[in-house]
Amino acid sequence: MKRLLNLLLIALFAGVTACNCNKENQSDFDIRNYNDADFDRLGISDKNHLSEASKRALKWGKMSNEWFIEFEVSDLKGDLAYEEGVVRRDPSAVIKVNDKYYVWYTKSTGPTQGFGGDVENEKVFPWDRCDIWYATSKDGITWKEEGLAVGRGPKGAYDDRSVFTVEVMQWDGMYYLSYQTVKSPYTVRVKNQVGLAWSNSPDGPWVKSEKPILSPADNGVWKGEEQDRFSVLKKGDFDSHKVHDPCIIPFNGKFYLYYKGEQMGEEITFGGRQIRHGVAIADKPKGPYVKSPYNPISNSGHEICVWPYNGGIASLITTDGPEKNTIQWSPDGINFSIKSVIKGAPHAIGLNRSADSEKEPTEILRWGLTHEYKSYDYQYIRRFTSRRIVAHKAKGVGLKK
């Protein structure tokens, strides 16, 4: 009797589980929402046997190609061509002032020693011991290095070790540079912050903020004293370790500071590194910036690449996470959806902000700047171009015989 009762309970549990599972799978899909043309477009002939993939495809709706592009990368000429022993990386957006293009970037010299030696006096990353320099160009191809824009702060300042990964915003007759900062010593557990500088001329001089305008969340807890960034008692928010790659966009009468967050105890997921983006919002360019309660606003990403389009904000998501290699768009600058999957996107894109970003979704990506690793020690700045992909043909099709 007891054995029979157990069998009945097992059967009942299995039935309930199957029923719940079936309801869960079917809850947001109703075949009545789709017509014969929808099934024909996707090549689905048996409507009574739909895989989860087919259901997802039907829910996508009609897929357009206006967001789908491919990239090519080429060398620059002049002072931004590769130079042995010099690091030039992470170009800002390109802006045009009086018929001349401007770009800012991270610059340092010498090889990288890493964390195995004297971190107080050696160089632990290519972006360590850096300053922000700038260059100008008439055509976006041949560049002249103009000199230092923003340097490291004095010993003891929040930016005394390195200033790097800069972005520019032009607004109301002023120019703003946002960038990452590190205070010495540069240890594995050091917390990066974001600084700001401003000027009424793209050639400077630049006035720096006395304090960071953005800092990591302060709710994670390291485990032990060893310099191990993956050993934690509590991970904290998605940006509890570092705030990186700042970019300020004027949007809806406010200023949206997009940034990359790195979490204490960062994990490796099925998409790679656990990297996500956040946004902080201010009423004025200089702040104060308040992090959105909706953070994080992406499931993936690395360097920030955002631009205004069609009343919202578009974002190119690269390198890390389950939604990497996608272009996404948000009507409110916070809630993003995937618009296309792309391949081969360049690293650390510097957009051409002089482009007409409303012409089409990816017009601002037609050309700009990127960086490339010549080796782990040395990177240099290159030019990228892109083109829309709207069709494909086999070789020789259409040629006259």
Residue 361 and residue 283 share a domain: yes
pLDDT of amino acid 14: 38
Residue 88 and residue 47 share a domain: no
CB within 8 Å of 227: residues ≥ 6 apart = 115, 187, 188, 189
CA–CA dist 179, 250 (Å, integer): 17
Residue 216 and residue 114 share a domain: yes
What confidence tens digit (pLDDT) does each residue in 170-219 have? 999 999 999 999 999 999 999 999 999 999 999 999 999 999 999 999 99
Work out the mean pLDDT of the chain and round it to a whole number.
Answer: 92
CA–CA dist 24, 397 (Å, integer): 47
Q: What is the DSSP string of 250-303?
A: EETTEEEEEEEEE-TT--EETTEE--EEEEEEESSTT---EE-TT----SS-SS
Q: What domain range is 308 assigned to?
A: 69-388
Residue 119 and residue 29 share a domain: no
Instruction: Evaluate whether residue 398 is within a structural domain.
Output: no
Residue 146 and residue 209 share a domain: yes
Residue 79 and residue 157 share a domain: yes
- Find, among 69, 73, 64, the residue nearest to 389 by Cα: 69
Instruction: Evaluate whether residue 393 is within a structural domain.
Output: no
pLDDT of amino acid 401: 62
What confidence tens digit (pLDDT) does each residue in 307-363 have? 999 999 999 999 999 999 999 999 999 999 999 999 889 999 999 999 999 999 999
9: tokens are: 């309970």
CA–CA dist 14, 6 (Å, integer): 12
Instruction: Evaluate whether residue 221 is within a structural domain.
Output: yes
pLDDT of amino acid 326: 97
Helix, strand or coil, per DSSP, at residue 364: helix
Instruction: Evaluate whether residue 249 is within a structural domain.
Output: yes
pTM of the model: 0.90
Residue 196 and residue 47 share a domain: no
Residue 24 and residue 112 share a domain: no
The number of helix segments (H) and strand segments (E) in the chain equals 3, 26
Using only the alpha carbons of the chain, give its radius of gyration: 25
What confidence tens digit (pLDDT) does each residue in 100-125 have? 999 999 999 999 999 988 888 899 99
The residue among 41, 59, 77 that closes a domain is 59
pLDDT of amino acid 7: 40
Instruction: Evaluate whether residue 400 is within a structural domain.
Output: no
Residue 157 and residue 195 share a domain: yes
Predicted confidence band at 393 (pLDDT cuts at 50, 70, 90)?
confident
Residue 47 and residue 117 share a domain: no
- Report the CATH number that the domain containing residue 193 is assigned in CATH: 2.115.10.20
Query: How many domains is the chain partitioned into structurally?
Result: 2
pLDDT of amino acid 16: 35
Instruction: Evaluate whether residue 399 is within a structural domain.
Output: no
Does residue 21 carry a pLDDT above 60? no
Residue 113 and residue 84 share a domain: yes
Instruction: Evaluate whether residue 333 is within a structural domain.
Output: yes
The residue among 14, 38, 59 that closes a domain is 59
CA–CA dist 177, 166 (Å, integer): 6
The residue among 18, 35, 59 that closes a domain is 59
Instruction: Evaluate whether residue 397 is within a structural domain.
Output: no
Pick from 14-23, 102-111, 292-301: least confident: 14-23
Query: By percentage, how much of the chain surpasses pLDDT 90?
Result: 84
Residue 259 and residue 340 share a domain: yes
DSSP state of 33: G
